[in-house]
Amino acid sequence: MRNRLVIGFTLAAAILASAPLVAHHTGSTLLSETTVTLKGVVKTWLWSNPHCLLTMEVTGADGQVVQWVVEAQAPNSIYPAGYRNNSFKPGDQVTVTLNPVTNGRPYGRISRVVLADGTTLGNGDGAGGGARGGRGAAAQ
Amino acid sequence: MVRVLVLMAGLSSALVFPIDAFAQNSSTTWPDPVPDRRPVAEKDKKPAPRRTIAGMWGSRLGYQAKGVQLRPNDGRPENELPYTPYGLELYKSHKALEGAHAVPPAQTNDPRVACEPLGFPRYNHYDLGVQIFQDEHKVAILYHYDYRWRVIWTDGRSFPKLVDGGVEIDGQYREQRYFGYSVGRWLDDYTLEVQTVGTLPEDRVWLDNTGRPISDKARITETFKRLDNDTLEWSETIDDPKIYTRPWEAMKIPMTLQDPRTDVLTRYCSPYETDAYNKAYGDSASGK
């Protein structure tokens, strides 16, 4: 019960837009069609099949820290949207727009990520869009 | 003097004949590992070469996450498939991760998540991107997803006869296969028609990500039409009387010629990586 309250406060404090930013029909009961936007600190970034995973810590208005795990599609699907295997490193400040899971747990699917330097990485659902290159291209 | 004339003729030829668009890239660089070249503008199109579909081909239409390209599983009446009663019962038993009746990861019974080969024609309906090679006997299609390949025989051999549990070829019984048995023939200099039978039964493979079924009674017809140098129109019709009441067209995708030097990102189905994903995300996200 307490964890759910913590998650609820975190969402309430961090939501910048509650209306659907993307008309995202999941066709599944897993994900909400309404997106939320969270500011957090990266813990890990897993560049892997079947899905890439971003783990981040989000601090709510009440000071509670909640760990979120958010997924994107496989590397080959999100590469055109600017994601790379070194797009994130531990400690990075990120702003993530995502479709959260409907069971209230801190999981979801990435819609968009904005890095601290303003770089936008596009639709993590593999639908393309967003800036090409990202950190990986800059490092080449 | 003769040598000078020969040299001048060679230089003139180089200027007259079209230069390969990919040749302008440095051979010492690695292209992006995702072939994402967009369709060529009308004004830049070059004539199609004869009797070849060789090359690396890709299209964003190939993702097909919501099911086959021409009939995505989106709940719209026009995209409903003509199921037999058995076919509909089978579809309802499939718990898919995509489509109108998708379930969370922990509930799926899609054989793909156990890293079973997708089978044919499902490889045509999942993140389609290929490299095609051909010689005088055959066309070999290398699917980027899961690094699988299939062979289409174009040397005039007979087409197998579909029998219970397999096929009959020249009087010999042969087993069912993930990719079946494919024979192709050129209808004209730019159109290759391919027929396939002998695929796996419906308890082993699905048709697409959304759980549509396909049986071992299926006869799949593909048409590869080279529209111009950079465009290959890949069509597919499914005739499966066990599952569907009539033949229907599943896809018609204009594939774009990609940089042949692309070293594509690997996309294997790994039981290890799938298990790691479920532990880190899939199970908890599903409420398990």
pLDDT digits (tens, 9 = 90+) for A86-121: 999 999 999 999 999 999 999 999 999 999 999 999
Q: Does position A6 have pLDDT exceeding 80, yes or no?
A: no
10-residue stretch averages of pLDDT, chain B, 288 residues long: 52 41 71 91 97 96 92 96 98 95 91 95 96 98 96 98 97 98 98 98 97 98 98 98 98 97 92 94 90
State which residues form the domain around B84. 47-285
Chain B residues in contact with A74 by the CB 8 A cut-off are 127, 267
* Predicted local confidence at residue B104, as pLDDT: 86
* Predicted local confidence at residue A134, as pLDDT: 32
What's the number of domains chain B is made of? 1
Beta strand A107-115 with A65-72 is parallel
> Residue A90 and residue A97: Cα distance in Å, rounded?
19
pLDDT tier at A16 (50, 70, 90 boundaries)? very low
ipTM above 0.90, yes or no: no
Chain B residues in contact with A30 by the CB 8 A cut-off are 102-105, 285-286
B24 lies in some domain: no
Q: Edge-to-edge strands of the sheet including B172-175? A: B161-163, B166-169, B172-175
* Predicted local confidence at residue A5, as pLDDT: 44
* Predicted local confidence at residue B63, as pLDDT: 86
Q: Minimal CA–CA distance to B22: which of B221, B256, B195, B179?
A: B256
| pLDDT averaged over every residue in chain A | 77
Q: Minimal CA–CA distance to A50: which of B102, B272, B122, B119?
A: B272
Q: Minimal CA–CA distance to A48: which of A29, A72, A66, A75?
A: A75
Among candidates B36, B102, B281 on the partner chain, residue whose Cβ is nearest the Cβ of A28: B102
Is the dihedral angle over the CA atoms B1, B7, B13, B16 positive or is it negative?
A: negative
Angle CA B279–B67–B185, to nearest 5: 120
ω into residue B39 within 30 of 0, thus cis?
Answer: no
* Predicted local confidence at residue B272, as pLDDT: 95
For residues B273 and B253, is the Cβ–Cβ distance under 8 A? no
> Residue B197 and residue A113: Cα distance in Å, rounded?
46
Residue B148 parent element (H or E): strand B148-153
Q: Does position A17 have pLDDT exceeding 70, yes or no?
A: no
B120 lies in some domain: yes
B4 lies in some domain: no
B122 lies in some domain: yes
Cα–Cα distances in angstroms (integers) from residue B132 to residues A70, A109, B93, B177, in the given order? 36, 34, 35, 20
* All domains of chain A in start order, with CATH: 2-139 (2.40.50.140)
> Residue B129 and residue A19: Cα distance in Å, rounded?
35
Interface of B with A in 238-267 (CB under 8 A): 264-265, 267
B287 touches A at CB < 8 Å: yes
B3 lies in some domain: no
Encoded amino acid at A18, one letter: S
B135 lies in some domain: yes
Residue A77 parent element (H or E): helix A75-78
* Predicted local confidence at residue B1, as pLDDT: 60
* Predicted local confidence at residue B208, as pLDDT: 97
B1 lies in some domain: no
Give the number of other Cβ atoms within 10 Å of residue B24's Cβ: 7
* Predicted local confidence at residue B11, as pLDDT: 46
Q: Of residues A136 and B22, which shows the higher confidence score?
A: B22
* Predicted local confidence at residue B82, as pLDDT: 98
How far away is chain A from the Cα of B92, in angstroms, using its nearest Cα?
Answer: 15
Chain B residues in contact with A83 by the CB 8 A cut-off are none
* Predicted local confidence at residue A21, as pLDDT: 33
Please list, residue by residue across B203-242, b when 16 or more beta carbons sit within 10 angstroms of its beta carbon and e when fewer do. eebbbbbbbbbbbbbbbbebbbbbebbbbbebbbbbebeb
Total-model pTM: 0.83
Among candidates A30, A49, A50 on the partner chain, residue whose Cβ is nearest the Cβ of B286: A30
Chain B residues in contact with A49 by the CB 8 A cut-off are 267-270, 273
B26 lies in some domain: no
B212 touches A at CB < 8 Å: no
